[in-house]
Amino acid sequence: MRDYPKVICNEKAARSLRAGHPWVYGEETKGPEGPYANGDIVDVYTEKDRWMGAGFINDNSKIRVRLISRNTNDRFEEAFWRRRIEHAVAYRRTVMGETDFRCCRLIFGEADSFPGLTVDRFEDVLVTEVLSLGFEVRKDMLYRLLREVLAAYGLQVRCIYERNEAPIRTKEGMETGKGCAYGDPGDGHVTITENGLLYDVDFIEGQKTGFFLDQKYNRQAAAKLAEGKTVLDCFTHTGAFGMNCAAAGAAKVVSVDISRDACEQSRKNIALNGLQDRQSVLQADVFDLLTALANGERPEGIPAGKHPFDYIILDPPAFTKSRETAKAAFRGYKEINLKAMKLLPRGGYLATCSCSHFMGPQAFEKMLREAAADAGVALRQIEERRQAADHPILWGVPETEYLKFYLFQVV
């Protein structure tokens, strides 16, 4: 007999749940009548007393209930969570293969029915982010189970490091911070291999969990066009797109980032792979640099000529993290894409992407069409891609589809 507190959701929430979405907002619910604590598991019913699922409740959050199961037989004991972790790990081993499984996202929140939990694997280091209170109060058990499940595959986890710095944690009633939850982080660095290239990952001070794994195969796709090209790699972060192009035979790559730390990390990675003769790093604001190049300026380190680059890669950070700022983000994306299209010669190549869920595929394509029209060019699409399969898109949960990546020839 189930004895979880009972939350009643309205018809709007019920329709969303029936469509596969796992969230119930506070204004859509009433109850429970009995005692409960934030982070507890509750049963969600419709106003007509139909059971919709079980999930974590948190009155501090705009998302009051996050579903974790739609199976009435589930009991949320340790064995349940072990199975859930085993399923997530087995999926990665299948879709990524043995080599890429060594560095991948092991748990991707709602897409793995772990709402608010992210776990990235960098060889023997796991980096986590916990954004829901339900997992915050259970994380010690989950970390132990992760170690045990991975040990069955022969991996002894050296360190589990938490990067719980996102401001959303305060809205969930949790403190922000970072630190080692298990093992020895050493100097906070680990060397990984992706697409045959070495990277030094700073999992303590680097952005997010230290490295963006979701672009793994998009980097391969971009590199296929690079042989003999002069490449401008914008918002380079750790130098990854540029390195893939340099290793694929690009004549010259200039990687640009506004962050001094990112530039230093890029130079370290370039040196690790012996690509210094083909790839350089420039610290600059990409918006300002593209404007200067469009005006005919050629800062130090930029090739001469009317069209100094015949291949431009735009991999910006998320310009919007809310619907309220989506219009401003649209303008930002359009500005950099418009200038890139104007800079490229006819027959040049453009790789462009957005990692914001709130800039959906239709809006992003609308922006690209407007930019191309304003630049007086046409776009010949080569590929349209999304994030790597270790960041799966769960249909019914649009928040899991966030990365858009396009390859074009400008004609």
| Segment 337-349, tens digit of pLDDT | 999 999 999 999 9
| pLDDT tens sequence across 30-62 | 999 889 999 999 999 999 999 999 999 999 999
Q: Percent of the chain, pLDDT > 70?
A: 99
Rounded distance between C-alpha atoms, residue 26 and residue 62, angstroms = 6
Within the chain, all domains assigned CATH 3.30.750.80 are found at: 78-191
How far, in Å, are 85, 146, 161 from residue 157 at the CA level? 15, 9, 11
Catalytic residues: 355
Which amino acid, one-letter code, is at 394? L
In the 8-state DSSP scheme, what is residue 317? P
**Percent of the chain at pLDDT exceeding 90:** 91
Beta bridge partners of 408: 350, 381
Reduced to 3 states (helix: H, G, I; strand: E, B; else coil), residue 8 is strand
pLDDT at 264: 96
Give the pLDDT score at 321.
67
Q: What is the per-residue pLDDT across 296-327, written as a single tens digit (0 to 9) for each?
A: 899 888 988 888 999 999 999 887 666 777 78
Place of tokens 């699922």: 53
The token pair that represents 165 in the structure block: 């710095």
pTM score, whole prediction: 0.94
- Quote the Cα angle for 315-405-316, to 5°: 15
pLDDT at 306: 84
Which uninterrupted H or E stretch holds 112?
none
Q: Decide yes or no: CATH 3.30.9.10 for domain 78-191.
A: no
> DSSP secondary-structure letter at 387?
S
For the segment 259-265, the average pLDDT, to the nearest whole number, is 95
**pLDDT surpassing 50 at residue 194:** yes
- 3-state DSSP call for residue 156? coil
Burial label, 318 (beta-carbon count in 10 A; 0-12, 13-18, 19+): middle
> Tens digits of per-residue pLDDT, 362-394?
999 999 999 999 999 999 999 999 999 999 999
Domain with CATH 2.30.130.10 in the chain: 6-69
Separation between Cα atoms, residue 372 and residue 211, nearest integer Å: 31
Question: 6-69: which CATH number, 3.40.50.300, 3.30.420.40, 3.10.290.20, 2.30.130.10?
Answer: 2.30.130.10
Residue 344 Cα distances to 6, 70, 179, 305, 337, angstroms: 60, 51, 45, 12, 11
* CATH class (in words) of the domain with range 212-410: alpha beta
End-to-end CA distance of the chain: 66
Q: Give Cα 140 distance to the centre of its chain.
A: 24
Portions of the chain given CATH number 3.40.50.150:
212-410
- Residue 1 confidence (pLDDT) above 70: no
